[in-house]
């Protein structure tokens, strides 16, 4: 690798930095990309803080009207919400950088504890949804590219748009109506049956990911129950992403099918199906990896809705409970924490993309 003069590295935009960070190769890209994560997290945390605080303090929001004015003022003073905003802001940023996202008002718990208790459930749901998206989206996208501009392509594309156009909670309700209420094939809500839930919570050193805990218990009935509960939520959330994958794979495979090397293969007499399956498929998957990074944000938003639909007791479900309880300290903490998670996942995805496709680094 030829070492060239590093450019003036004052470009803060990730996209611009990616293009300008010539030379130094992977290690340099890793460092630049890592440093870019810091302003992102900082800005999001600041934005959430400013949005939540400029309109008033969380205590008035939660208790206003329920407590006499003098008692309320006392509580506000004790919590320090009557100090200048800038002082509170500096204190808050300091706390966030030491990993302290505050305590919830309604049940006085550390926000980070809330994350550790309910996060695994959300992670589990997101992974199931991604699996559904891969299984449905990628083969169908390749099929649509293979049959492009013919009627099956049109049908598949309308399906992709339908997947996107259907709100996850409506998809969830319809699935529930058909498979849980109508056919009685699958459970309508929750993560496991009541008795199994108790058993799973007693597992020593539990991960919180029900499937792993169930496998460790070694009880086939519980594993089956956990999986049965996961099917409908995973499909509801997964189809949304599947539609996006389908469109992306189709567009990219059609793009690579026009490349000179594919033309060369075609002129050697390689069948059109083999061209899609072997020649155009792999390069077309690289953008998918990058897009997964953006999907994390969509999946998290979708998880909030899916968890509410299916009473899947994860982070999103909990967030809505705090919203309804008007506990804005908890909301602020969870949202800020999610901002950090989104930024870190995007960083990891970008690094994986760079390992797979060297062009990203330049």
Residues of this chain that interact with another protein (CB under 8 A) are: 10-16, 39-40, 43-44, 47-48, 51-52, 54-56, 61, 149, 151, 153-154, 157-158, 161-162, 164-167, 169-170, 173-174, 176-177, 180-182, 188-189, 251, 254-255, 258, 294, 297-298, 300-302, 304-305, 308-309, 320, 323-324, 326, 328, 331, 335, 338-339, 342-343, 346
Closest distance between another protein and the C-beta of residue 321, in Å? 11
Closest distance to another protein from the beta carbon of 88 (Å): 16
Nearer to another protein, 55 or 95 (CB): 55
Secondary structure of the chain: what % helix, strand, coil (to 5)? Answer: 75, 0, 25
CA gap 353, 362 in Å, rounded = 12
Closest by CA position to 294, among listed 236, 336, 334, 240: 240
Of residues 47 and 87, the one with the C-beta less far from another protein: 47
Look at residues 243, 259, 334 and name the one whose alpha carbon lies nearest to residue 295: 243
Please say which residue, 57 or 225, places its beta carbon nearer to another protein: 57
Residue 115 C-beta: closest distance to another protein, Å: 14
**Shorter beta-carbon distance to another protein: residue 48 or 211:** 48
Query: 14 or 25: whose CB is closer to another protein?
Result: 14
Closest to another protein by CB, 10 vs 268, is 10
DSSP one-letter code for 92: H
Q: Compute the radius of gyration of the chain from its Cα atoms.
A: 24
Q: Minimum distance from CB of 346 to another protein (Å)? A: 6
CB of 284 to another protein, least distance (A): 13
Q: Is 189 helix (H, G, I), strand (E, B) or coil?
A: coil
Report which DSSP code applies to 101: -
Q: Hey, which residues does 103 pair with through a beta bridge? A: 110
Strand, coil or helix: what is 22? coil
Two tokens at 16? Answer: 């611009």
Q: How far apart are CA 243 and CA 241, in angstroms?
A: 5
Rounded distance between C-alpha atoms, residue 234 and residue 179, angstroms: 14
Q: Shortest approach of another protein to residue 254 CB, angstroms?
A: 7
Q: Which is nearer to another protein, 16 or 78 (CB)?
A: 16
DSSP 103: B
Q: How far is the CB of 141 from another protein (least distance, A)?
A: 14
Give me the residue label for tokens 């998918």: 288
Alpha helix (H) residue ranges in 218-280: 220-257, 260-267, 272-274
| DSSP annotation of 249 | H
Nearer CB in complex with another protein: 213/295:
295
Place of tokens 């300008």: 20
Nearest approach, Cβ of 300 to another protein (angstroms)?
5
């Amino acid at each position: 690798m030829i070492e060239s003069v590093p450019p003036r590295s004052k470009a803060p935009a990730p996209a611009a930095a990616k293009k300008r960070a010539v030379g130094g190769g992977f290690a340099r890209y890793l460092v630049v990309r890592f440093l870019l994560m810091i302003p992102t997290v900082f800005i999001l945390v600041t934005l959430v803080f400013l949005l939540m605080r400029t309109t008033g303090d969380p205590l008035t929001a939660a208790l206003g009207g329920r407590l006499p004015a003098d008692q309320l003022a006392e509580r506000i003073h004790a919590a320090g919400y009557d100090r200048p905003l800038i002082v509170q802001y500096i204190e808050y940023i300091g706390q966030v950088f030491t990993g302290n996202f505050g305590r919830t008002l309604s049940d006085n718990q550390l926000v980070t504890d809330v994350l550790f208790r309910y996060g695994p459930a959300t992670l589990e749901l997101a992974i199931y949804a991604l699996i559904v998206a891969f299984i449905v989206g990628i083969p169908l996208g390749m099929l649509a590219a293979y049959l492009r501009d013919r009627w099956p392509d049109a049908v598949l594309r309308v399906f992709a748009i339908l997947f996107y156009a259907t709100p996850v909670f409506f998809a969830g309700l319809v699935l529930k109506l058909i498979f849980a209420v109508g056919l009685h094939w699958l459970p309508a809500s929750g993560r496991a049956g009541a008795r199994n839930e108790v058993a799973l919570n007693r597992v020593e050193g539990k991960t919180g990911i029900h499937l792993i805990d169930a496998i460790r218990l070694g009880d086939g009935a519980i594993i089956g129950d956990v999986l049965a509960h996961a099917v409908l939520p995973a499909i509801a959330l997964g189809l949304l992403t599947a539609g996006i994958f389908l469109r992306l794979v189709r567009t990219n495979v059609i793009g690579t099918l026009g490349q000179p090397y594919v033309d060369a293969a075609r002129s050697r007499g390689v069948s059109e199906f083999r061209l899609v399956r072997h020649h155009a498929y792999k390069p077309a998957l690289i953008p998918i990896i990058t897009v997964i990074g953006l999907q994390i944000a969509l999946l998290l938003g979708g998880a909030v809705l899916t968890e509410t639909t299916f009473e899947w007791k994860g982070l999103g479900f909990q967030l809505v409970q705090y919203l309804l309880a008007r506990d804005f300290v908890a909301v602020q903490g969870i949202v800020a924490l999610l901002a950090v998670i989104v930024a870190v996942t995007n960083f990891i995805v970008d690094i994986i993309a760079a390992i797979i496709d060297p062009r990203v680094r330049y």
